[in-house]
Amino acid sequence: MAINIGSKAPDFSLNDIDGNNVKLTDFGGKNVVLYFYPKDNTPGCAAEACSFRDKFLKYKKKGIVVLGVSKDNEISHKNFIDKYKLPFTLLCDINGEVCKKYDCWGKKKLYGKEYEGILRKTFLIDKNGIIKYIFDKVNCETHGEDVLEIF
């Protein structure tokens, strides 16, 4: 099933850093930024997370929830949150099932080598659970502001 603007966002159930089960439906009635990123503590992913952190008060004032998803485990996410003082929730998709559900798993290239991994994408989900916008291309440095311009 393709994920498109205007379609219902697929529900999911993933653990946060404390092992609590988090579902998209937990945030019904709120706008949600759901962003997928490749790996904790890598330069691009840190820049992207910090761009959300630096604009977080604006998100909070607008009542927007920010959720980050990668295949990293709870310990890795906790260290990432502590290191960069991230004020939002990171979720563990260890098996990559939600990444696949959101079409965020695929072929990538690094230093001329092709491999499969998480594709950096962000979904803006409205209060009714409908996908309002999809960022297929992300500028890690400005992403937090770029999202606010639309949401």
d(CA 97, CA 104): 10
Residue 4 counted as domain residue: no
Supply the pLDDT for residue 24. Answer: 97
Residue 18 counted as domain residue: no
Whether 104 is catalytic is no
Could you tell me the pTM of the whole model? 0.95
Half-sphere exposure of 132 (CA within 13 A, CB side): 16
Supply the pLDDT for residue 112. Answer: 86
Supply the pLDDT for residue 111. Answer: 83
Q: Residue with structure tokens 């379609």?
A: 7
Supply the pLDDT for residue 1. Answer: 57
- Look at residues 100, 91, 90, 150 and name the one whose alpha carbon lies nearest to residue 126: 150
Residue 44 counted as domain residue: yes
Half-sphere exposure of 29 (CA within 13 A, CB side): 1
Residue 22 counted as domain residue: no
Residue 2 counted as domain residue: no
Partners of residue 8 on adjacent β-strands = 130
Residue 23 counted as domain residue: no
For residue 62, the tally of other CB atoms under 10 A from its CB is: 11
Q: SS3 for the chain, per residue? A: CCCCCCCECCCCEEECCCCCEEEHHHHCCCEEEEEECCCCCCHHHHHHHHHHHHCHHHHHHCCEEEEEEECCCHHHHHHHHHHHCCCCEEEECCCCHHHHHCCCEEEEEECCEEEEEECCEEEEECCCCEEEEEECCCCCCCHHHHHHHHC
Partners of residue 127 on adjacent β-strands = none
The two three-digit tokens of residue 58, written as one number: 């604006």
CATH code of residue 36: 3.40.30.10
Residue 19 counted as domain residue: no
The total number of structural domains that make up the chain:
1
Supply the pLDDT for residue 2. Answer: 74
Residue 114 counted as domain residue: yes
Domain of 83, in residue numbers: 28-150
pLDDT digits (tens, 9 = 90+) for 79-104: 999 999 999 999 999 999 999 999 99
Check 45, 92, 99, 104 and give the catalytic one: 45
Segments of the chain with pLDDT less than 70: 1
